Structure formats: C-alpha cells, structure tokens
Structure 1
Amino acid sequence: MMFLVAVSRILTSNELSLSTFPTAIFQLTKLTDLRLDNTLIEGGIPLRISTLHNLQYLYLGNNSFGGTIPGSALSSLTNLKELSLWGNSLNGVLPPELGNLVNLTYLNANKNNLYGGLPPEYGKLTLLKKLLLYKNTFTGPIPDTWRGMTSMQDLEINVNYLYGGLPSWLLKMPAIKILQLGNNQLSGQTLPVLNISTAPSLKYLYADCNYLEGVRPKIDNITAALDYNCWENEGSLDSACVRALNCLNFQLAVSNGKCPVCPSGQHMVNTTTCICFRDPENSSKKLAIAAIVGGVVGGVFLLLLVVAFFIFRARKKSRKSQPAVSHPDYFQIENGGSTRSLSQSWEAPGGVHHFSIKEIIKATNRFDKANEIGEGGFGKVFVGKFPCGRSLAIKQACIADYSSETGRGQFRNEVSLLSRLHHKNLVRLEGFCDDGGQQILVYEYMKLGNLHDLLHGNVQGKHVTLDWYKRLEIAVNVAQGLDYLHSFAHPPVIHRDVKPSNILLDDNLVAKVADFGISKETIEMGTHVSTRPVGTAGYWDPQYFLRLQLTAASDVYSYGIVLLELITGRKAIESDGLEEDTNIVEWTRAKMEACQDALHSIVDPRLEGDYPKRIFKYLVDLALKCASFERQTRPTMKYVVSVLEPLLQEAERPPQRSSQSLSFSRPLSSSTTETKVGGTGSSKSTIRSDIEFSNLTGDTWDTFPTVASTRTEVPQRGQSPELEKPSSTI
C-alpha cells in the first residue's frame, strides 16, 4: 500500500512522467484506487488491467494511450465506480461491455477518436451520475434504452455527429441537471415550454448548433443555449456553426429518408440508424505502400524545401518594401489583406464566429477613437457595429506571443475555454480573430457599462437608479456566474480578478461577469494552483498573495469585497484623509464594532436610509465571511448562492421611481481609478431571522483543503462537487 500512497502523491503534484504502463502495478492485487492521469503514458491500455479485481477508481486521462478500449478486460472490474479515459488517442467503438459495470457512477471518455453509435447497453447503468463523451465522432441516435439511467445528473455528448430527434424523456430524466447536446445533428421539435413542470430537475441545457425546428421553446428557470438551430422566424445563423448542410438542405435530405454525411474518413454501416464507422484499414498493406512511396516522397519533399526557401526569401524582401497600416497601441496589419496561415491547421470550436480582420476593421471604423469604450488589462476595448445590426465588444487579448507555437496554443486554449462557458450571468464570447497573428476576442456588448462606474460616479451621463433591491439582484447575478465557473464548467475555472469593473450590466441591469483573460482553468477545485499573483490590489486573496496558492476561495474573497462595495458604496481601497489608505474590510469591521448604529454607519448614504435593515445585516455578515483572512472559513460560491437566492425571492421589490434617479457623483472621493499591481428604513420582507452568520464556524462552511496542485480531470474521491444546491436555513 506504500506504493499506492506514493503514486497518489506523485500524481497529485504532477511530478510523475512515464512512457509505458508500469507493470509492477499488476502485483498490487488489492489496489482499489489507481490514478495515472497526466503521466505521458503511450501504447495501449494493457489487458492485464483485468487482474486488479478490487479496483474502484481508475483514472488514465490526459495521456497518449492509443488503440481501442479493452472492453472485456475493463468489464471484469465489477467493483469499478469511476473510470476516466479522457484526452487520449483511443479509437474504435465505445465498448458495450462497459454496460455490465453496474456500480459505475462516473465515466469520462471525452476528447478521443471514438466512433460508431452510443451503446444501448449503457441503459443498465442505473447508478451512473456523470457521463462525458464530448469531442469524439459518435454517430446515430441517442439510444432509447438510456432512459434507464435514472441517476444521471450530468450528460455531455456534445461536439459529435449524433443524429435523430431530441427525446422528450431525456429532458425529464428524474435526476438530470446538465445536458450538453450542442454541435451535433439532432433535429425535430422539442418541448414547447421548458420549466420545472416539463423538465423538473434540469438546470442547464446546451443544444446549440443542431437542426432543431419548430417554435423555439419558452424557457423558465433553466439556463439554456439554443441558438443556431432551425427555429421558425429566426433566419439563418449557420455561419457560426461548422456543418456540412444548412437547415434547408438538411431538412430536404431527412424528408427524403437520407442520412447525413459521415465524418471524414468514415463510411455508413447502418442506413436505418445512420451509424458510421472508420474505413477499414490493413496495417501491413499500409506499411508496404509507405516503404515503396517513402523514398519518392522524400526526394520530392527535399526539392520542394529548396524551392520554398528561395520563394520565402523573395517574398520577405518584397514585403519589407511595402508600407503597413497601423493603429497606435494596438496592432499592425500588413497590406494585402488578412493572413490565416497561422490558424489553418486549427479547428476552431463550434458556437463562436471566426471573424476576419477586415470585418473587425470595418465594424470599428478602423478602430476609430469614437468607438473606444474602455481599456482592459490587456488592451483597448472597442464597440463594433456589424452588418446584421448587432453591436459587439472587440477586445485585444494579448495573451502571448502569437508568432510562437506556445503563444498560438495559449490563445487557442483561451478561445476554446471561453467557448465552453455558457451562463446567463457570464458575458458571452461571440467570436474571435487571429488573422495575421492577432489575438482579438469578440463579446456581446453590454450597453450600461460596468459596476465600478455605476457605483463610483463615472457613468458619462447615464441616469440609472441603483436602489437596494437592484444591488441585491446584482449580488445574486454575480454569485450565480461564479458558482457556474466553479461548479459546472468543465474543467472548473477560477476567475482571479473579480472586481466591479469586470462586472458588466445589460439594458435591464442584469449583471454578467466578464474578463476571463487571466482566468485559470483547474481540473480539481479542492486543491490549489501555484501561480504568481495576478489581479487588482484591494481584491487580492491574502492567502493567494502570501503563499502564491490559487483556489476557488480566492474568487470568494474578491466577491466579498464586491459585496461590501455594493453595500457601502465605497471602493476596495479608499482614503479618508488619513495618512494611509483604508481597506474596505478593515473599515467595515471597525465600524461594526465601534458604532452604536453600526449598520446605518456603513450603508451607502445615497440610499437615504431606504433599505431593509435585516437583509442588509445578512449581507454584511456574509460579505465579511467571504472576505475572511483564512480561506478555510470562507463559504463556497454555491453556498453564497443558496443564501442570497432566498433573500431575493422573499424580498419585496421597491416601487420604481419615475421622476428620480440616483446621482452617481462621488461624495467620498473624486478618484475613480483602480490600483493595478503583477438608515433606518423598515423592511417588509418575510425573511426569518433564525440565521446568524457570525456564529457559523469553519465546520459549517464548505472548506478548501490546501493540498498540492493537480491536473486530474475530475475531483478526487469523496470530493466531487455536489450538483444539488444546499437548502438554505433562511
């Protein structure tokens, strides 16, 4: 068992590098937990794995395993509960024999080269809670037998070639919370209304980039992404999806009984279910042909290299003599149009539009100063007007040197990450541009700007009422967005720079978290990521600053600061005319301890005493708990949401004032810059007063263990994030 301890520790710190599967492991016949993620193992999954009869947890993700999945060997591990094979080069079909692993609760085979149909046999896996099969080339329908997976909470089969209807039973599965179905070839109509009655457990539905038709369903209490389908009266949005047929041609093909086109390199084997397989290959024949052709190709290739060298030199000299169109502090574009050579080999993620530099230049009127709407940590932000009539925000990313392979990879990873994040309280990525080595991200445009300007006076003539109820709504919006990043994004994301200027508001003052340019995706949220401090002074988690250890609790700390700003109207760091600036946490705690009417002394005076004291007392206690020095005493964002949502639901919305808007001139400080560094109104609320945040101990709040950094794909045993929101005691 000492070997098991050693392997677990080495894997957790990501220090183990292997080239082949260690055969000594097969001597550990009592092994129950084997985790070999991220160890660079090559070759096939050994059949001798079947000798480890006591295995309950097997993690082989993010390696270089090839060949097929040994179904018969794995199916003999009858005690297996969790199986992770993600991020390899496995091919072939998904073994139907895995349907015999009746104790399985978690199966992850995403990002491989698997093909064929989804196995109907998996309908017997009644304990399976999470099934991740996205980014393969599966074809055919969603098996009707899968309705037997009654414990399923998270089903992700997006980015495949699945064909057929969207079964209504799938939306009504008793435990289902997350359905990822986007970027497939699903068609037909769905339920006209999606709410707690028609889909009782469903929280998140992503079915964009399919061929769903009819009237777009009405959504209530479900986060859904249903764009780029074939809904009535919505026109064509095909340009944002990578698909062989547009809506009309697809519908014509289906009406004629034809199957959609197979993925590249595959052929149709069943025209009834439209399942495709790889073209049969004869390995020995391929090797013989390669040997014969190799010499010829090698000679031709050498000749082409010589010719290409001289052409390159000639073009380089020619380009030096050509002037360039430049934009100050932004980027340079060579004459002759756009250059896509750097990204030709990259398959951009579905659901985001690949803009050309010409489109960006035209939309911004050549980056006219009049179109500049702000400046983020990585460059200026412009608003662009596109031919479709939409206005979008255009931001320079500057993530890395795009001329290097590493830089291109970092930018592409950022685009891939952002394209997977879909939530009503996150600013949506609409597209990107990497022409000529540029790094431009295109987001939805948030007309009312950011929360920092609304709170601290720089609103440029906008008249917006930010009463106590709207502040509570904003607090809930931001918490929901961060909870999604921590609990539902795959892999989870730590924002690292949560602050009011990164919280944008739409026309209805719905808040959305923005600016993931310095975010960190982390596979395991229960551990830390070692990294240098990045962010903004005043919002830094002190543990992050002192120990260079980043966890989700770091975002919780920053959220606590934002919540205090909403309550007090003060900035995170502000001067009271003393020699030293005052931190908002220290200021609030001092006021709460020293003042007789403590709450009234800290609440934003611009509210003029018009706020429910009981609710605001809860908010202050919660904010201070989030901003605790020790991360173990901070709540999780999931807990924060579970506390705030009932407060908002039970609070009574104040009447709208038609003739009066709050003045956002800043009485306490005239400065609106941020430091960048490496009352008495009575409440009519029905909230019960049986909660006291100040009495909560570290055991009551979810904690974040400080263990070594890990790249494991899923949480460690016993630490899987619970999908069900905890019930509030309020």
Structure 2
Amino acid sequence: MAAITSSSSHVTGFINGPMFFLKLALMLLLLLQLQPKITSTAQAAGVQLLPENEVKALREIGRKLNKKDWNFSDPCNNVPTVETPHTDQYNNTVVCNCSFPANRCHIHGIFLMGQDLDGVLPPSLSKLPYLRQVNLGKNILSGSIPPEWVSMKLEFLVLSVNNLSGPIPAYLGNITSLRALGLESNLFSGSVPPEFGNLVNLETLFLNANNLTGGLPVTFSNLTKLRTLRISSNNFNGKIPDFFHKFKLLQALRISDLNSGISEFPDIKNMKGLEKLILRSCNIRGRIPEYIANLTNLEILDLSFNRLEGTIPNFGDVFGLTKIYLTSNKLTGLTPEWMIKERDNRYQIDLSYNNFSKNSLQPPTCRDSLNLYRSFSIQNKSILSECLNPCSKDKYSLHINCGGKQIIIGNIKYEGDEDAGAPAELFYNNSASWGFSNTGHFWDISSGRYQYITTNVSILRMNNSELYTTARLSPLSLTYFARCLANGNYTVKLHFAEIVFRDNISYYSVGRRMFDVYIQGKLELKDFNIEEEAHGVDKEVIVKRKAVVNDKTLEIRFQWTGKGTTGAPVRGIYGSLISAISVEADFKRPAESKGKIYIVVGVALAFCLVAFITLSILWWRGCFGGRESREQVLRGLDLKTGVFTFKQIKAATNNFDSGNKLGEGGFGSVYKGVLLDGTCIAVKYLSARSKQGNREFLNELGMISALEHPNLVKLHGCCVEGKQLVLVYEYMDNNSLAHSLFGQEEGGQLKLDWPTRQKICVGIAKGLTFLHEESALKIVHRDIKASNILLDRDLNPKISDFGLAKLDEEENTHITTRVAGTIGYMAPEYALWGYLTDKADVYSFGVVALELVTGKSNMKFHPSENYVCLLDWALVSQQKGNLMELVDPRFGSEFNKEEAIRMIKIALLCHNPSPALRPTMSTVVRMLEGRTPVHELIMDPSIYGDKLRFEALRNQFNSFTTESTSEF
C-alpha cells in the first residue's frame, strides 16, 4: 500500500536523482511547504477525510496503471506518523492537502516512481480537481497522454523513463499552470507542438532522449521563464533557433546532434545565470564568442563536434568553469597558456582533434585532465611523440580486455585496461604500445561517481565470459590507438555485450544505447545497438572488420551521438560500451634476415602459381563434366562450413523420404533432416537436371559461408560426391513467410498478428542492411521475395537462397549476360535494362512490405482489371487518401494504425521509379522503428496501370529470367 503523507520531502527525487534535480527539488520543496498540512484531530476521530468521488478516482487510476497494491478506502485517514523511506529511485506516495473547511482533504500529489507499473496513463487523473503534482517516472507505462488531462491545473508533471509513444499531444499546451514538465527517455515521435508556446509559466522542460524530429517552434520564444531546457538526444534537424536571447533566466541549455543546416553561434550573452551550456554536434561555424568570458556562473562548456574556427578566447578568469570540451573542431593558433598551465584535478579540458600550432617553447603537456590527442595540425609532431616511447620493433597483433585485468584465453593474452578514466584523458601503455583518448563526462551525476568502467550485474554464460565481465564506457568519444604495427592489412574484432541494461519487466529495460564506431576514420557501425544485435542482454556479439595500417598506427573510435537514453535505469548510464578488442595481421611475420625473406617470398609466389594452375584445372574438370571430383575443388576452398558425406545426408532425410519434403525450387528440392546428434537441418538437394546447378551451388556456398547475421539463414555445411550437390542449412520451424502469410488463405496454421509482421519487416530490413552496408562483402541478393524469407521457431525472419546473389560492384552495374530474379519482385531498371545496384533489393523489399501489410501475394493479386498488382492498388489508394483499405482485414481492430501506415509509406518510397531516390536499407530500418520521419511519396498510378505495357514487360521477363520458388 502506498505511503500517504502531507510532507514535501518525497519530492526531491521527482524526476531522476538528487543532484540532477537539486534546484528543481528545492523549488518543489518551497512550493509544498506553502501548502497546509493534514490535521490530526479528524484523523484520530476516524472521520472520512477524502470525498468519495476522489476515492473512486484513485481506484480507477490504480487499475489503469496496473498498480495492484492500492486497496484503501480513504488514503488521507490514518496517516503514518513516520514517513515511508524511499530513495531517489523509488517513491510510492500520495500527498493530501487537508487545509479545507470541515477537515476535508483532497489529493494534492501522486508520486509513484520506480514501481514497474506496466499499464497506461489514467484519464481519471482529471477527476482529482485539486491535484497539482504528478510523478509517474521510472515505470514501463505505454500508450499516449490522455486528452482528459487538459482540464487539470497541474504545476509539476513528470512522465520520464517510460515507454510512452506517439506524437506529443498539442493539448498539453493548454495546461498553462505547468511550471515543470518532464517527458525525457520515452518513445515520443514527431515534432514539438507549437502550442507549447502557451506554457508561459514553464521553468523546467525536459524533452531529451526521445525520437522527436523537426525543430523547436518559434512560439518557444514565449517561454521567458525557462531556467532549464534539455532537448538533446533526439532527431532534430535544421538550425539552432535565433530566439534564445529571450531566455534571460536560463541556467542550463542543452542542444545536440542537429543533423542538417549550418548554424551561427546563438546569441546567449544575456543569459548571465547560465551554468551549463552544451551545444554539441550542431554544425556551428565561426568563432567562439568573446562574451563567453562574461558568463561568470558558467561551470560546464561543451562545444564539441562543430565547425568552430580561429583561436580560443580567454576564459581563464571564469573561476567556476572547470570542464571545457572543444573536441573535433577546426580551432587554430597556439594552445592557450591559461589552458595548458598546471591546474588542480577539478579542471578537465579536452582539445583533441583540432588544428593548433605547436610552440617549441611550450613545455610538454602529458598530464591527466588535459587531452591534446591529435590536436595539432602537424601530427608527426603531436602529443604522441612527446608522451609515448618510440617504437623499437614492429608488432603484428594486439588484444585488449577493455576495462578489465590481463587475462589469457587459449594462447592469446589480452592486455589489462584498468585505468579508472577521466573526462579529458590521454592514457598510454608504453610497454604494450597502445592507449586511448577519452572525452566527456557523464552529465548530472556528481564528479565522484564517474564510472568509465562497468561490470556485469548478473551471471554471464557465454563462451569466454571473462572478456565480458567488464567493459569501458565513454559518454562522448573514446579512441583506442595501437602503435608500432607493421604496415599492412589487419582483421579487427570488436567484442560487445550489454551488461548494464536489463530485458526484464521493469524500468531497467527502458534504457537504449546507440553509438557509432569508426576504424581508421571510416564509419563502420552506425547507431550500433548491442542489445539488438546480440538479441538480448548478457549475450556477446563480435563484429569483424578489415583495416589497413600504413603509418604504423591503428585507430578505433567509439562515438556517442546523442541517441538513446541518458537516465535509465539510473542517471548517467549511456554512451558507448566496448568489452574487448582483438587485432591480428592478415600476413605472416617476416623472417629476421633479408635472405630468408627473399626465399620465403619466392617459395610463396611459386606455390601460389602452382596452386592457381591446379585449382583452375580442377575447376574446369570437376565442375564442368570431367572425371575429376568436385570434392577436390571444394577441399581447396577456404570455407567456414562443415563437409557432410552423402551417406550422412541420406540417413538424416530417411533416404529423401517424400514425407520430409519441405518444398520444391527451380534448382531442386528441400527436405527436413535430423542428424545423429538430434540437430534438425534443412537439406537443399540440387537437381542434376538443372543447367545452373553448378553455378548456383558454388555461388550460394561462396556467398553465405562468408556471411553471419541473425537475419540471414545459417549454412551448416555441404556435400559434394560425384554429381551430388547438397547444401545443409539450419532448420526453420515455421517454413517461409509466403507459406505462413499466404497459406492462411488456404487454411494455413499460423496467424501472423501485427506485432509479428512488424518484427518480420524490421528483421528483413536489418538483414539487407547487413548485406548492403555492413558486411565485408557488399552483396545484392537479387531475389528478395516472401518465399525466400524463412521464419524460425520465434518467427524471426532469415533471408535465404543466395544462388542468384552478386557482389555489389559500383564500377560494373550493368548485367550483360542474364537478368535473374522473380516476376513481380524485380526492379524495373534491372528487368528492362539490366542495371543492377543494391537499390534493386530495396525495390523487392518494398513488395514484401506491401505483402506483409495486406496479407496478399503480389503474384496472385488480380482483384479486377482496374489493378495490375499490389503496388498499383497501393498507389490508387494513396491518391484516394485511403491507405487504410490496404490493411489485412484479418487484423480487425487489433493492430497499430500508425505503424501500418508507416510501413505502407516506406514500401512506396522503396518503389520510387528512380533507384537513386529509393532509401538505403539502413534508413528503412530507422523509419520502420520510428527513429526517422517518413516522407510520403506521391506517384501516378498510371505508370503501373498500363495493362499492355505490363504484359509486354511480363513477356520480356519470361524471355530471360529464371524464377526461384524454393521454400524450406
């Protein structure tokens, strides 16, 4: 049962933590102290203090919130004399105001923090006419904000750290009594309502860590009482607004990650009380204003990742300014004397990644709290040469246990990395020739609680769990550098595991972590989410990439770009996270003497020549009808798969029993099999009659054996004996998407509800993103369709059938021999002109997305002569303004309308006649997940509605295409 009190002490943690909201909490405390407290005489007499209508309202509120321990009859009676203890994480309190005549009481505040409430926001809050303060933060509430709340006279409303979604309702702007509004760390999307300009009494506004887009409306200029504004960690675009000069009372301003438009430095010289200023990644150009030195209350200044130029003004006289981050700009001139002189450890200054000049008279600045990593225009005279020992010999590998002690796994020693970390630090391990540059502090926690190393909070059960028990965190930018490496090609493995967030039913699961990863300055991972990629917490995911070292140095940078949450489950939990790094040369270590080197090189070249000639002969004879076995060729290939005997395959499938047959394809049949160890497999038995059998077999084997992703089907191995060609895959319990989706029309067993279809669509998009953008081999699948999407036991999608896949060669986009694919899924530029890019897969994906929404097969959809295909129907429906008619009627009302419309619009974007204007698959993923807005594309249905042209196109397809229809 909730604790009931008239005291104000419970308000101190009303959003997210004592230090984070100290000033706001004090303001709340003052407000509540002005409220009369409950009298004790009426309580002692057992009189009904609270009106019955408010008692009923509280019960309704409890039901909506799914708060099962609210069973009282009168919360203002029998108030405990000792208040129920609580922390800044948890609060379970109802506050009564009993200053009314006849000892009557009314509900004044509801504080239910950290209660893991999984219901929805209750409209019945509006039935409490005297309610002024509400804090429902740190729960797992979903849905949107009820319109009934408009009638309330709330002064403090906190809904932070929940799963609330949809647009922020404009009617919140009608609650003009609001003084503090906290909506951070939710899933709100869309733009900020202009009606917020009506909240003229607002002093604190937190909109950070959502999926908001657009920019701040000009009506915000009316909010002249604002003291704290946080809008970072969203998807805002455009320029910084020019009305900030009106916010003279502002004490904390945080804007970050504006993705478009170059901005001038905002006019903030009138904000004399400003204490914290963050304008990070806002595309600000020009010079840093001199008047910053006049903001004498300033404590933290973060202007990192902009385009600032010129020299740095003298802020040395601003006594309280102890944290300065000017990372990654274009600043020039000498490093200011007032910055590089020795200071106490309160000062943290980061000037890394700039273009300063080095003064030979300046002393070396190799100290903690001042980071000058790559801050000079001539890098060979940079801080590295002064702080690090010269290289004595070349190295060919490096292994780091990030944030942990030295450990040995197998025959590999992982260097320890136990430095505590700091907001502006260049750490170097001279003996092992590596180090790291760290930038940024965790906002809103006390300096003594900086945690740049985290440890697991539960038992880890993955292989080599010692690597994942610790990890290094960084709130902004973290660069590991390996020195003294021999020039050449290297394989880099990055080991990740999410050991902080949880996936249980609690507000600990609300946290979202996303960051970017660069290797040698190249963006390799965009918006990387460990939990998503590993399919859960406490699970490892290893990312492998290739890198070239040409100056003895390898750099791996992790950058938090303001996406995800910053206060869930607790304040300061965000930023990049890395568990371990492995670097290995792709070439052999050279011999000690030149004579040996020459011998080795000569022998290697001779061996390669002989091997090339031998493999060429075997290929010709083995694969094109000669007496030599194709198994000889197979043994010469470097495959990451197993090799099965034909006897094993026959035993597993009960001699290819027809009862085990799963489907029939253009290149053979697919059977279910069971190995001796009980593993279920899917056996693709390529037909000897197939003219393309050899080519398709080797193509699929070569492609998929090199790929590994949760949304790609896994190849267990193959069998080549005589003329027998067999591919062995993981078994998919739920067959193909076509079987599960369209089989319902014929009495199929599966019912794919909307959340499942949404999940399938996102999974397909992620698989294609990997093929197009993330894999070391950039691949165009060429045959994306519902029958090539397989579903596992949990209905997770996996792309299959790579027999037609091709490497994406930007310089060779025209197919001059054979256009291959499936009618109804092929992009027009590919089918008609043989122009092939990854945008052909994007087009095919759009067809599958329409099939998911409608539940209808594009191949079988011919409702009338008015429509040629699903796309034609969608375009007509779009012009009529009735996209909802496309939605599968089997859903009834049980589906997310917003997601369905979004998926249709994305599918139409994927069908743009111009391949260059189709989105990339990574953009599609972000749009499907609501992280990027969808721009509606209006096309003329007539471009698809000409029946004669369609038939001509169909005939042309039939003349030179091969249709693959295999299913598992």
Give the TM-score normalised by the residue count of structure 1.
0.47
TM-score, with length taken from structure 2: 0.36
Q: Which has the larger Rg?
A: 2
